[in-house]
Amino acid sequence: MAHLLMIESWVGAMSTLLPRAIRESGHRFTFLTRDLHHYLRSAPSHPHPLLTADNVLTAETNDLDTLLPFVERAHALLRFDGVISSCDYYLATVARVANHLGLPGPRADAVERAYRKDLTRQATTDVPGPRWALAHDWPSTAKAAADLGYPLVVKPVDLCAGMHVRAVRDENGLREAFLALEAFPVNARNQPRVPTVLLEELLVGPEVSVETVTTGGTTHVIGVTDKSIAGDPWFVESGHMFPAALDETRTRQAIDTAKAAIEALGLDDSVAHTEVKLTADGPKLIEVNPRPAGNQITELVRRVTGIDLPAVFAQLAVGEQPDLRPRTTGVRSAAISFLLPPRAGVVAGIDAPDHPDVVDWSAKPAGHRAGEPTSNNTYLGHVMTTSPDHDARARAEQAVAGMEVRYAEDAR
């Protein structure tokens, strides 16, 4: 039984999927956080990190100079075999801690290049992608946008879940996007943000993600997932299906692009979730995430292939070689569809889905304050469906369409 040090966690689905995977792999973990209240504010459900950890430690996880000596002392007492996190904001920290302690894991510089969208673009210039530019203040942003030409996409380089990613079609829209980023100087974990702005050519075409495991310098492809997008000018992910309904040519294009990007980044001993746009001019790299996919894509993969990517993530973290052979599950496709708020307001209730193919669902409780659907953080719920055919997406979309959202102000 290996002992993992988990440094911080998301509070969404992966906050339970990763602890479950660690336990089911026969391992245990100690949880380390700078702020217990961040996790206590969410309704804890088993296997929540605080409820499943052997030990819970507190230390300043945002300051590496403070964190490394603390982890050294904890390692001397508790003996860790690996370090892990499900939270993007701490992936590079985890890699640095593992490298410092001589434990398994990817190189910290490779993880940093994958996590930071500006560094990814700089490292993958030989991989097909959109035309792009970096800017650091308003004058350079306006000039870079004019040089690229509208429409384009404005992105922060160090946020997640589609936060502050939007399409802009003129300088007025660009100015609005720039000011919104400027007014967001720290992320949800109180880490100062990198003020760099990434501008990209607006690409047209379906978007997919390639789920991979790289170990010993070889990238193994688990499959390709499709993605539904909603909420123009935002890029909110409204659903996914695994495997994607693609022909052989487009599947190969997506896979080749993802593998080339992973190699260019120098990413090894890692699970990755690489997003690719399939345009009329060929595949274009969007980004590489050096961790298992979010939005419960890993559950879709597990239901179809039997491969549990959070468990693979944990096994790599302790230096184990995972079994990546797919198993027969009787499921040919699995899909998730997210319930987006029709508008902002206080939720009075949400109807449960009424569909025979639903295998999992959730909904925000009455009293939840819904925001405008501008990022993946605004979901009000989800449904997951499976199918013995390749039509799970249609079943999920039909099921989520029946989840009516009622607002408290409408009942007055």
312 with 324: CB under 8 angstroms?
yes
Domain boundaries defined on the chain = 3-103, 130-201, 207-299, 333-407
Residue in the structure block whose two tokens are 């390709």: 224
> Could you tell me the pLDDT band of residue 48, with boundaries at 50, 70 and 90?
confident
Put the strands of the sheet holding 55-58 in their side by side order: 55-58, 28-33, 3-7, 82-84
Asked whether residue 32 carries a pLDDT value surpassing 60, the answer given is yes
Please compute the mean of the pLDDT values over residues 296-315 and round it to a whole number: 98
Closest alpha carbon to 219 in 374, 70, 110: 110
Q: Which helix (H) or strand (E) holds 114?
A: helix 108-115
DSSP string, 288-352: EESS--TTTHHHHHHHHH---HHHHHHHHHTT----------S-SEEEEEEE--SSSEEEEEEPP
Domain 207-299 carries which CATH code?
A: 3.30.470.20
CA dihedral 116, 118, 123, 128 (to 10 degrees): 110
Does the pTM surpass 0.85? The reply is: yes
Question: How far lies 228's CA from each of 42, 71, 196, 331, 393, in Å?
Answer: 27, 41, 28, 21, 10
Please compute the mean of the pLDDT values over residues 88-110 and round it to a whole number: 97
Question: To which CATH superfamily is domain 130-201 assigned?
Answer: ATP-grasp fold, A domain (3.30.1490.20)
Asked whether residue 44 carries a pLDDT value surpassing 80, the answer given is no
336 with 382: CB under 8 angstroms?
yes
- The pLDDT of residue 240 is 98
- The pLDDT of residue 117 is 98
Pairing of strands 333-339, 166-168: unpaired
Other C-beta atoms closer than 10 Å to the C-beta of 352 total 14
Tell me what the pLDDT averaged over the chain comes to.
95
Asked whether residue 305 carries a pLDDT value surpassing 90, the answer given is yes
Cβ-based neighbours of 22, under 8 Å, separated by 6 or more: 4, 6, 28, 29, 84, 311, 314
**Chosen CATH of 3-103 out of 3.60.10.10, 3.40.50.300, 3.40.50.20, 3.30.750.24:** 3.40.50.20
Asked whether residue 41 carries a pLDDT value surpassing 80, the answer given is no
pLDDT tens-digit readout, 160-216: 988 999 999 999 999 999 999 999 999 999 999 999 999 999 999 999 999 999 999
Pairing of strands 405-407, 345-350: antiparallel
Please compute the mean of the pLDDT values over residues 338-353 and round it to a whole number: 95
- The pLDDT of residue 43 is 57
278 with 209: CB under 8 angstroms?
no
Which amino acid is residue 202, in one-letter code?
L
Beta pairing partners, 336: 240, 384
Asked whether residue 42 carries a pLDDT value surpassing 90, the answer given is no
- The pLDDT of residue 392 is 97
Asked whether this chain's domains 3-103 and 333-407 adopt the same fold, the reply is no
Which tokens go with 94?
Answer: 């985890």
pLDDT tens-digit readout, 312-332: 999 999 999 999 999 999 999
Please compute the mean of the pLDDT values over residues 276-301 and round it to a whole number: 97
Per the rule left: phi > 0, alpha: psi between -120 and 50, beta: everything else, 11 is alpha
How far, in Å, CA of 170 to CA of 240, rounded?
31
Pairing of strands 345-350, 369-370: antiparallel
- The pLDDT of residue 49 is 83
Which amino acid is residue 323, in one-letter code?
D
How far, in Å, CA of 240 to CA of 298, rounded?
11
**Chosen CATH of 333-407 out of 3.90.1170.60, 3.40.718.10, 1.10.10.10, 3.40.1190.10:** 3.90.1170.60
Is residue 161 classed as helix, strand or coil in its secondary structure? Answer: coil
How far, in Å, CA of 360 to CA of 381, rounded?
11
Closest alpha carbon to 292 in 92, 4, 17, 7: 17
For Cα atoms 261, 186, 129, give the angle at the middle one, nearest 5 degrees.
20
- The pLDDT of residue 208 is 98
> Could you tell me the pLDDT band of residue 51, with boundaries at 50, 70 and 90?
confident
Which tokens go with 266?
Answer: 């120098």
Please compute the mean of the pLDDT values over residues 91-110 and round it to a whole number: 97
Question: How far lies 318's CA from each of 146, 212, 288, 308, 405, in Å?
Answer: 48, 18, 22, 16, 44
Specify burial of residue 189 (Cβ count, 10 A radius: 0-12, 13-18, 19+). Answer: middle
- The pLDDT of residue 403 is 95
Cβ-based neighbours of 36, under 8 Å, separated by 6 or more: 50, 56, 58
